[in-house]
Structure 1
Amino acid sequence: MLNIMIADDEEFIRLGLEKILTKMDLDIKVIGSYSNGMDAWAQISKLSEGELDVLITDIKMPMMDGLRLIEHLRDKSIDTIVLSGFSEFEYARKALRSGVRDYLLKPVDKANLYDILVKIEQERSENGQTSESAVSAPAQETISKEKEHHVIEQMKTILEQEYGKNFEMERIADTVGMSANYLSRLFKQETGMTLTDYLIDIRIEKAKQFLSDHPNLKNYEISQLVGYSDPVYFNKLFKKMVGETPKDYKAKHH
């Protein structure tokens, strides 16, 4: 389990983050939410080693800002994620030099936050730093593979069925309940191919079927049927993948 604390002087950001975190399919517990660095530090200083895994903190806060709060954490094994606006970019760079794990621009991108937390969770599991739930981790991990395998198969089915539609990564990621970035990496890891390359393979195979089975179809019609609105691009891609133009392929296989 990852124990997380939030420090931000804007209440709607704190509440928004809590909502985002509780909806993630990760073993997460928000153990505190504070409006300034001083209150956050007062609570952190009471905690034992290992009771807090991740601090998500704003840069600019009253009483004690994010940079000073981070300074207090130097001797603790707490991963820190800094939140900042565009105008605070220089502050964020200083924070990164202070050993901060990562920083996120506001408004927070859910997919980026998810990816950072997944990385932290994996590293802490490998280093044996996770809290009391670490004992049951192997069993959970195995079930989660099963889940990952199921998701990849689901993705393949979606691509097989929707190869002719406009490819919208975010929509497909939502369908399978994962972030787009995480899903892309998982797909490459499991299949050895990027999602884009896999989709191109499907589309070209479908195009070959149309060319040989439906010779009356025009090239631009086949191009649109397999998801490419630009027939010139389709021709170039087909030649690159197959080694001959759609016209030549049709002549040979009709």
Structure 2
Amino acid sequence: MKVILVDDEELIRLGLEKICLREGPDVEIIGSHRNGAEAWSQLSMLPPQGVDLLISDIRMPVMDGFELIERCRRSFPDLPVIVLSGFSDFDYARRALRFGVTDYLLKPIDKPELLSLLKRTAAARSSEESLSGGDSSALPSDPQPAPDHYVVERLKSLLESEYDQPLEFARLAERLGMNSSYISRLFKIETGQTLTEYLIGVRMSHAKKLLVEQPELKNYEIAEKVGYGDPVHFNKLFKKTVGMTPKDYKNAAYHPRSH
């Protein structure tokens, strides 16, 4: 598995390289860079299959991680990306999820967590290669735990970070390099929910938060913020999911019954 490391702290890069090479699943470090610009100089010269994983810091001089990831998405749309972040920059790491990153690691790096991510990435890569060589429209009769877990967690991450966007199965499948019917069935088997049901739950959770934290918002504004252009449809879904209308939920939050 070909890996590129990007961090402006040399000690962090050396530590990552040491862990990856000594204990990682057949890892080859093909690049170690101080900033996004250096990394992009190498990445821009590589073919689509020339790198298997990018591990990058977010806050760096010259070119930060966001710009690097954005450029990578144009040339390497399916490249798994793990972002690094200090605890004080945790919001940056969460924001990076909107850029389609696989996962994030907080500094100081937790060695078992890094190894787990490396193994999941390698297993997912292996699974996708085997699927692309056969009939990817059919769910394997004996799916391996690591790839399945990786795919499901990646789908959850995408839905949770892009809940305000329309749900397009083809687009999700394309970003994962897999068949849409495969990921739909896999998600249902692993979670007991369809992708649509899971997305509704995420959207309603955000809607409840908005109703309490921003009570000045109109119903249609909240609907739009959580991905619904039709406020009537949003109202019906909210009542079905939460058990009361958005208006009643807001009233209950601000005027709780006394016992």
Relative to the length of structure 2, the TM-score reads 0.48
TM-score normalised by L of structure 1: 0.49
